Amino acid sequence: MTKKMTKKHKFYFLFIGIFVSISLLFNGCKNKTSSMEVKSASEFEVLLNVLENNGDYVNSDKFPSNIDASLVYQNIDKNFLIIDIRDEDAYNNGHIKGAFNIKPDSLMSFFENVIEPNSFDSIVMVCDIGVRSAFVTSILRLLGYNNVFSMKFGMCAWHSNYADALWLKSVSSKPENELEVADNPLPQKLSYPQINTGESVPYKILRARADTILADTIKKYFVSIDDVSKNYLKYFIVKYGFENNSNLGQLKGAYQFLPKKSLNSKTDLFKLPTDKPILVYCYTGTKSSFVVAYLRILGYDAYSLKYGANGFMYNVMLKNFPDNVFTKQNVYNFPLEFSQSVPTLNQQSNPVALKVKGGC
């Protein structure tokens, strides 16, 4: 398993960035006269080139980086680090044994100053329903932390206390009569976003984007089907993770984007708008959360539909995609911990000196 982005990785990013910049500059010059001004690559172009040529995570076999709650439980006393990103009150009302309670805006400091990420076999991000943990896992993966995973379905998979109040309460078939069955042709190539971090080195651009996003209130990046159904035209709707099944129904105006194929500069990435919010939905809201994090890193105004298609066509999902629905069978009822002895980042008197390491 690949480990944390070391100085060697950052040097690699720097080298690739210089190479990309020189390549873009050369390609722009070679067919022009010496008297013509050459336009330098934008931050977006530099960042996208590096991400696509350094694993292309969103289109790779490592995407999405989920882990089942049962595997977390089996390794709870082994070399796994569990990070619970929920609010402190939710954490205190029940959490996984040994889990650290770290808010998203403190994750980067925690990874860089408090722990040795590459010393753990796996670092597991946990939230309530599994979408915010997917979002932050996607960002951490883009930053090179390749041993980070999101616990699928969050605490709802861990215990029925959460499943009954959240996932099982939110599945619905109410808007099924509003669905359409016709495929919508994708628009022609559009413009790409403009990002302005003030940085020129690819890793620094990526890091600045990650800092900005994680420092924000990431809960606002997730919307409910009730909000969407009030005004479908508000969003450019991306149906992600479904193949050849529009006859079963899709949200009004949705465009088909095939998983691990569409979100690339050589395919359909540039067909996404920059002047309109983008809503991504999948089966459960998990893959879409990973996708939205990637799109936000690139500067798109993207949002994920909470609970995915489970939230508006649950009966259809049960019949046609039984492996992609949330039911009581997904709930393990593993033990909950209520002690507050696990340190949080804000409780460390000298976090730089702590450097928690994994290993048995």
Q: What is the pLDDT at residue 28?
A: 41
Least confident window among 15-24, 170-179, 317-326: 15-24
Q: What is the pTM of this model?
A: 0.86
Q: Tell me: pLDDT of 35 over 70.
A: no
CA nearest neighbour of 338 among 164, 125, 91: 91
More confident residue, 24 or 241: 241
Q: What is the pLDDT at residue 343?
A: 63
Least confident window among 47-51, 182-186, 245-249: 245-249
Q: Is 29 a catalytic residue?
A: no
The DSSP result for 81-108, as a single string, is EEEE-S-HHHHHT-B-TT-EE--GGGHH
- The secondary structure of 221-286, three-state, reads HEECHHHHHCCHHHCEEEEECCCCCHHHCECCCCEEECCCCCCCCCCCHHHCCCCCCEEEECCCCH
Q: Domain 171-326: give its CATH code.
A: 3.40.250.10
Q: Which residue out of 127, 156, 282, 360 is catalytically annotated?
A: 127
Q: What is the pLDDT at residue 244?
A: 60
pLDDT digits (tens, 9 = 90+) for 291-335: 999 999 999 999 999 999 999 999 999 999 999 999 999 999 999
Number of CB atoms found within 10 A of residue 235's CB: 24
Confidence of residue 259 (pLDDT cuts 50, 70, 90): very high
Q: What is the pLDDT at residue 231?
A: 92
CA distance 131 to 280: 12
Task: Parse the chain into domains and list their residue ranges.
Answer: 171-326
pLDDT digits (tens, 9 = 90+) for 38-58: 347 899 999 999 999 999 999
Is 201 in contact with 195 (CB distance < 8 Å)?
no
Q: What is the pLDDT at residue 252?
A: 92
pLDDT digits (tens, 9 = 90+) for 123-146: 999 999 999 999 999 999 999 999
CA–CA–CA angle 308, 235, 218 (5° rounding):
60
CA distance 296 to 291: 9
What is the mean predicted confidence (pLDDT) over 250-278? 94
Q: What is the pLDDT at residue 247?
A: 76
- What's the Rg (C-alpha) of the chain? 21
Q: What rounded mean pLDDT belongs to the chain?
A: 87
More confident residue, 81 or 30: 81
CA–CA–CA angle 131, 214, 76 (5° rounding):
55
CA nearest neighbour of 96 among 295, 342, 300, 310: 342
Q: What is the pLDDT at residue 347?
A: 47
Q: What is the pLDDT at residue 26?
A: 37
Q: What is the pLDDT at residue 248?
A: 84
